Structure 1
Amino acid sequence: MTLLSIVVFDDFSDIDLVLPWDILSRVKRHDWKVQVVGMGSTHRSTLGMLVKTDERLTSVAHSDVVIILGGEGSRVRLNDPEFLDDLKLDPQRQLIGAQCSGALILERLGLLQGRTATTTPFAVREMQAAGVVLQQRPLVVHGNVATAGGCLASLYMTAWILFRCIGVADAKQIFAEVAPVGDDAFWAVIERAVTAQIRATNVPNP
């Protein structure tokens, strides 16, 4: 079973959830499960969308893939000891991705120490103040840890997860379902960027 958990909290960014949740859920395998987790039974997004969680936050400890969303609520979580304690992550055995300001949470947990990253332009000062060296890229990968900068960069992070979990060929088929019609460059740009990041960390594609 491959278990993928998307971490939500109050005031999360709507698009950060919807894009990866939709695309990852298109994988049709009996041993593939995408779930939404949080500290509560429901959480409300920045735009007011009420989302029901499938499991509580502590379940991330048993997940194979963990995605941390961005949004104004991510900054609140930085000062929430219970949230940080429940978010038990292990980059040795998990793929861990942070979208936009979700990178602030990875930094607080010590998962970006000695690593470069990317983030939303609205979190650059905070990341730099924490001592993180930022790259101007949609996706930055170090082994099993990835950060994505900009809401639509969640497409790159989602592709990275699919590359690592089901392979490039199957990932391409999934993206073909959502790609803009007639835009042949859409997939090529994503594939090139993600492949370059994976190769830079010497992690082979399945």
Structure 2
Amino acid sequence: MSVRVAVVAFDGFDELDTFVALGLLNRLAASGWKAEIASPASHVTSMNGVTVQAQRPLEFANEADAVIFGSGLYARAIAEGAGKSGTLLDRLQLDPLRQTIGGQCSGVLLMARLGLLADMPASTDALSKPWVVQAGVRVIDAPFHARGPVATAGGGLAAQYLAAWMMARRAGFDAAAQALHPAAPVGEKDEYVARLLGVVRPFVDAPAG
């Protein structure tokens, strides 16, 4: 089954959020998955000065099957533009009835401003928590939380949970395990994958397989 994933990255993006999710999701390439960096400009520069070429325009997120929002230095400023014509978030019209959508840390703030969380509690990091709370979201002390097709995570390394959840939800746990296993640390692969999938399992209504 073909699954197109938009990994949204704005200037100041966190490399862990973006590249960990991108790398893990593309391990299902043989099954028709393709995760790509979607940005508002042709090139985007990370919080540590790494400049990469965008693979897709920001609007690709509107048509993608799944979307991931990582965190970034300027997420709060971007969030303040929500609802204003001509701003970055104004270019996004996402649909959780059709798409699988996840975010972490300050990316959760962007999801809140886009109206994607409703009354759902969310995970985020300590730095972003006050902003997310101010946006009207109840923040919980957990690395990952999801409801239906919408998920949130807190902490850069929690990108593994978002990727695992997305794969399990759309391709099944067997496919997710097969994709994650090669990336897991040598000598603890089975335990690592089992723990990772164990975190997201309560939040997944996955297809058989």
User: How would you bin the TM-score normalised by the shorter chain?
Assistant: over 0.9
| Aligned-residue offset at 1:205 | 3.6
Among residues 190, 201, 205, which one is paired with 1:195 in the alignment? 201
Paired amino acid for 1:179: A
Structure 1's 55 and 91: CA in aligned 2 closer, same or farther, altered over 3 A?
same
Number of the residue aligned with 2:33: 32
Paired residues for 1:121-140 under 5 Å: 121-140=126-145
Number of the residue aligned with 2:157: 152
Q: Which runs of 5+ in 2 are unaligned?
A: none
| Aligned-residue offset at 1:55 | 1.5
Structure 1's 157 and 30: CA in aligned 2 closer, same or farther, altered over 3 A?
closer
| Aligned-residue offset at 1:30 | 6.1
SS in 2 for 1:29: helix
| Aligned-residue offset at 1:78 | 1.0
CA distance in 2, matches of 1:18, 1:33: 13
TM-score of the two chains, using structure 1 as the length reference: 0.93
CA distance in 1, matches of 2:203, 2:28: 23
Number of the residue aligned with 2:120: 115
Number of the residue aligned with 1:94: 99
Among residues 127, 150, 161, which one is paired with 2:166 in the alignment? 161
RMSD of aligned Cα (Å): 1.4
CA distance in 2, matches of 1:43, 1:79: 20
CA distance in 2, matches of 1:150, 1:60: 23
TM-score of the two chains, using structure 2 as the length reference: 0.92
SS in 2 for 1:180: coil
Aligned length: 202
Deviations 1:58-80 (A, max 9, x none): 12111000001102121221133
CA distance in 1, matches of 2:102, 2:31: 23
Number of the residue aligned with 1:142: 147
| Residue range with higher mean Cα deviation, 60-69 or 121-130 | 121-130
Q: Which runs of 5+ in 1 are unaligned?
A: none
